[in-house]
Amino acid sequence: IWDMISTTSAHDEESDDSSQEEVTYALKHLHPQMTEKQRDFTASAIDLVLEAKILAHLDHPNIVKLFGVTKGSISTVFCGNGYFLLLDRLYGTLEDKIQEWISSEMIANVTTQTRRTSLSGNQPARRYSNAGGASSGRGGNDGATAPADGAMTYKERCKLVDERIQSVGLDVARGMEYLHQHRIVFRDLKPSNVGFTAKGTVRIFDFGLAKEIIDSKRRLTGNTGSLRYMAPEVNRREHYGLSADVYSYGIMLWEMCCLKKPFKGMTKEEHATLVIHKGFRPKISSVPGSDDLKQLIQVCWSAEAPERPTFREIRRALTTDLATKKKLEEEERERKMAQQSAPSKLIMRLRRQHRGTTNGTYRKSAPKKGNFQLPFS
């Protein structure tokens, strides 16, 4: 369980102010009631000690920071002497952030609907049902299905997805890249294990299931982690490695883009049959983004572990995709500005005529008095 503790620190690592200030840390320790179940308590105690051992050797902006542990060994935990970890205080998780994004989209949809209704003279757009039963408005939408009444356009949703990847997705990839460089498989990557500091910095936390891979031939414990984000080979208790985290990231990235729970409503039996054995995956066409982004998500959650990219490749792919989109946006903005600032050929012709010129030559005579005509008549 988690508790909070405040203390006075001479310097906050995220603050430019070197003066003394109160800093809040998180305490992670075992719940006293866990001692009632010896087997569960033993497993949790071992996880807590191993988590401290792993975190003690890590130092990365996107990995939760370990500031200290109580003295003693694993026996300290069993004796009830209050073994705990002193960690970063985090303010909310990615799971919470996704709910905020959902609320923001709902507000944006209402705002868009109000604006469109106002512009159309309070006449709501007619809705048509396509073959699949989905409702859409008349007209196109940047090559995608037009949004329902009040919904944001596809282009607007793509913009929001890019912002989420820029602010969260990339940092998670950076943190995971660092872990894999140290041969550490996280084994439980999901939104509830991605947190944020007071300044909004992404921190991957809860290393209770993390494992350092010393011998790649050694088989790791199977069926470890959360079923929704668990790689098929882990669920089947087969040999697996670092690429298991990539599968989890792919599922989580889809969730960040679509703001929907993957495999929602599935029972464990259905998940085993459809996802683990038949390769069922969330609907990729639901992702509002580029084809490159969709292809990246698909290759991340590939059923074949060797086909999945490394987190270094993921980070580079996302960075390139965002940079390409930014360049296209800048070019489009410059083109529109040029169109707005440059007078049309008609206006230029009218101005020349108004100055008494035609194709760069002066008229030989002025119009007779009383018979004046406008130059563009």
Residues 293 and 187 in one domain: yes
Q: Letter for the amino acid at 85?
A: L
Residues 165 and 181 in one domain: yes
Residues 307 and 265 in one domain: yes
Tens digits of residue pLDDT in 10-43: 445 555 555 566 778 888 877 766 666 777 777 7
The pLDDT of residue 367 is: 52
Rounded-to-integer distance, Cα 79 and Cα 69, Å: 16
Q: Using an 8 Å Cβ cutoff, are 314 and 249 in contact?
A: yes
- Residue by residue, DSSP assigns 343-376 as PPHHHHHHHHHHTTEETTEE-SSPPPTT----TT
Residues 164 and 60 in one domain: no
Active site residues: 188
Query: Nearest CA to 187 among 216, 215, 220, 217?
Result: 220
Q: How far is CA 338 from CA 14, 22, 132, 328, 332, in A?
A: 42, 53, 42, 15, 10
Residues 341 and 196 in one domain: yes
Rg of the chain in Å (alpha carbons) = 29
**What is the rounded average pLDDT of the residues 217-227?**
91
Residues 42 and 71 in one domain: yes
Residues 106 and 38 in one domain: no
Residue 57 lies in a domain: yes
Hey, CA dihedral for 300, 253, 261, 153, is it positive or negative? negative
**What is the rounded average pLDDT of the residues 63-72?**
85
Residue 14 lies in a domain: no
Residues 287 and 327 in one domain: yes
- Higher pLDDT: 150 or 132? It is 150
Residue 75 lies in a domain: yes
Residue 28 labelled as part of a binding site:
yes
Does residue 144 register a pLDDT over 50? no
The pLDDT of residue 78 is: 53
Judged by DSSP in three states, 174 sits in helix
Query: Nearest CA to 89 among 53, 54, 65, 62?
Result: 65
Q: How far is CA 127 from CA 135, 148, 149, in A?
A: 6, 7, 7
Residue 193 labelled as part of a binding site:
yes
Rounded-to-integer distance, Cα 238 and Cα 233, Å: 5
- Residue by residue, DSSP assigns 268-301 as HHHIIIIIIIT-----GGG--S-HHHHHHHHHHT
Residue 123 lies in a domain: no
Tens digits of residue pLDDT in 355-375: 765 555 545 555 555 554 444
Rounded-to-integer distance, Cα 192 and Cα 225, Å: 12
Helix orientation angle between 311-341 and 170-181, rounded to the nearest 10 degrees: 150
Residue 60 lies in a domain: yes
**What is the rounded average pLDDT of the residues 128-134?**
35
pLDDT tier at 90 (50, 70, 90 boundaries)? very high
Tokens of 278: 């038949």
The pLDDT of residue 145 is: 40
Which residues form the domain of 347? 90-115+144-355
CATH no. for residue 29? 3.30.200.20
Does residue 120 register a pLDDT over 90? no
Residue 30 lies in a domain: yes
Does residue 71 register a pLDDT over 90? no
Tokens of 91: 């303010």
Rounded-to-integer distance, Cα 99 and Cα 355, Å: 63
Residues 201 and 74 in one domain: no
pLDDT tier at 251 (50, 70, 90 boundaries)? very high
The pLDDT of residue 279 is: 97
Q: Is the pTM of this model over 0.75?
A: yes
The count of structural domains within the chain is 2
pLDDT above 70 covers a percentage of the chain that reads 70
Q: How far is CA 265 from CA 102, 112, 190, 254, in A?
A: 19, 31, 18, 17
Residues 74 and 160 in one domain: no
Residue 198 lies in a domain: yes
Residues 29 and 95 in one domain: no
Most confident of 151-155, 291-295, 351-355: 291-295
Residues 209 and 270 in one domain: yes
